[in-house]
Structure 1
Amino acid sequence: MYKKILAAVDGTPHGDGVLGTVASLAKLTGASVHVIHVRPSRVITDGISGGVYTAEEPAEGRQVVEDALARLRADGVTAEGEVDEGLREDLAAILVERAADLGSDLIAVGPGHYSGISALLHNSVSRGVAKTAPVSVLLVRAED
C-alpha cells in the first residue's frame, strides 16, 4: 500500500478535508505524510513595468503547514512539511515534481476552487496533477 503521501494544503476547508482523509489513510497503512503548501504568485504587468507578486505573507504559509502538522501528529501520524512558492500556472507541476523528489507514492489534493466562467479562465491544480502525476492521485472533496 502507500508508504509516502504528499498532502497539498491551502488553509481552506478543502485542505482540511485532505488532512482528515490522509490522516485516516496513513494510520491504516503506516504511511508517513509530507505536507506542502505552495504560496501562489502571479505575474502582473501594467504595460511599462511589472513583477511577480504573492498575495500571502510567508508567515501565513508557515502557519498553514504548522497547523497541518500539528493535526496529523495529534492523530499519531509521522509528518513533516514545507512551504514552497510558485506561479499559479505552475502549481500542479510543482506538486508532481516535489512528489517525485520525495519518492511519494500518493498525492492528495483538494478540488479546484473555481466554478462557472472562472473555471474556464484558471488552470485546475487538481486536474493538472491527475493528468501528469506518475503516481496515484487522491482528490478529496471537503464536506459543505
Structure 2
Amino acid sequence: MYKNILAAVDGSAHGGAVLDAVSALAKLTGGAVHVIHVRPSQVISSGISGTVVPTEEREESRQVVDDALARLRADGITAEGEVDEGLREDLAAILVERAEALGSDLIAVGPGHYSGIAALLHPSVSRGVAKTSKVSVLLVHSEA
C-alpha cells in the first residue's frame, strides 16, 4: 500500500509538511515519491480576449521541485519530479490526471492558502483533488 506517492508541493511551509509526511510513509512502505509542482498561470482579460500569464518564473518553479527532491533523497527516498503548467482553476484536475498517468496510489497535498475574498475567487485545490481522485488523498496540515 502506498508504493507510488504523488506529492504536490508549492515551495511553502505547507509543501514542506507534505514532504515530511510522504517521506515517513515512503520509509514505512518502501515506496517511491513523484514530486509535482504546477507552475500556476492566470488569464489576464483585455476586452473580449485574454492572455495566459504565468504567476511565477520557470526557474523558481524548477527550484521548488529540485529542493523537494534533494530533501527526499537525503532521507533515502527514491524520488523523481516534474514541473507542470496550468491555470489556477485547473490545478486539482492536473494533479488527479498526473496521478492516474503515473499509477499513483496516493496523492498528498497541503491545505489551501487563501482566506477571505481570495478563498471565494480561487477554488480549493485539495478539495478538488479529494472530490475527483480515484485513489486515496492525504491532506497534510501544517502550523504555517
Fold conserved between structures, TM > 0.5: yes
Report the TM-score, using the length of structure 2 for normalisation: 0.97
CA distance in 1, matches of 2:132, 2:49: 34
Quote the offset at 1:121 in angstroms: 1.9
CA distance in 2, matches of 1:98, 1:50: 27
Which secondary structure does the structure 2 equivalent of 1:126 belong to? helix
CA distance in 1, matches of 2:49, 2:36: 32
Any idea what the Cα deviations from partners look like across 1:24-67, whole Å, max 9, x if unmatched?
01001111000000001001112165310002111111100000
Equivalent position amino acid for 1:96 in 2: V
Structure 1 unaligned blocks of 5 or more: none
Equivalent position amino acid for 1:136 in 2: S
CA distance in 1, matches of 2:49, 2:120: 27
Any idea what the Cα deviations from partners look like across 1:53-84, whole Å, max 9, x if unmatched?
00211111110000000000000000000000
Which secondary structure does the structure 1 equivalent of 2:90 belong to? helix
1:99 alignment counterpart? 99
Provide the alpha-carbon RMSD of the alignment: 1.0
Runs of 4+ displaced beyond 6 Å: none
Corresponding residue pairs, total:
144
Which secondary structure does the structure 2 equivalent of 1:64 belong to? helix
Report the TM-score, using the length of structure 1 for normalisation: 0.97
Q: Report matched runs for 1:103-142 at 5 Å.
A: 103-142=103-142
Q: Report matched runs for 1:59-74 at 5 Å.
A: 59-74=59-74
CA distance in 1, matches of 2:102, 2:21: 20
CA distance in 2, matches of 1:89, 1:49: 18
Percent of aligned pairs with the same residue? 78
Equivalent position amino acid for 1:7 in 2: A
